[in-house]
């Protein structure tokens, strides 16, 4: 649960199965790990589920002043289960 994944282009953390408290700790660790700015975008997979984890993560990002948006799947479609954090 809450595994960080990284491909050559997309550092990502998957929060499926995490409680709100676990998710916030994992997101905080993930963002600090990638704070050097070498990756312009970081991906946080919250899933949709009940929305509790996503709401808490969005609140955390806002309080910490991280710019973010929902991921785009192309042609104007939004993937609301993934948040993109801009780490420029």
| For the chain, domain boundaries | 4-86
Report which secondary-structure segment, H or E, holds 56: helix 52-63
Can you give the pLDDT at residue 73? Answer: 85
Tens-place pLDDT, residues 38-50: 778 999 999 888 8
Can you give the pLDDT at residue 48? Answer: 83
Q: What is the pTM of this model?
A: 0.85
DSSP string, 19-55: -HHHHHHHHHHHHHHTTT-SSSEEEEE--STTSHHHH
Does the pLDDT at position 18 exceed 80?
yes
Can you give the pLDDT at residue 37? Answer: 66
Q: Indicate the CATH number of 4-86 among 3.40.50.410, 3.40.50.150, 3.30.1370.110, 1.10.600.10.
A: 3.30.1370.110
**DSSP letter, residue 8:** S
Does the pLDDT at position 1 exceed 60?
no
Can you give the pLDDT at residue 5? Answer: 59
Length, in residues, of the chain: 88
């Amino acid at each position: 649960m809450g595994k960080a994944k990284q491909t050559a282009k997309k550092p990502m953390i998957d929060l499926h199965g995490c409680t709100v408290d676990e998710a916030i700790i994992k997101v905080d660790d993930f963002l600090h790990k990638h704070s050097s700015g070498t990756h312009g975008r970081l991906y946080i997979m919250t899933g949709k589920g009940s929305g509790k984890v996503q709401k808490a993560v969005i609140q955390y990002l806002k309080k910490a002043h991280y710019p973010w948006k929902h991921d785009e799947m192309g042609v104007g479609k939004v993937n609301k289960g993934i948040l993109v954090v801009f780490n420029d």
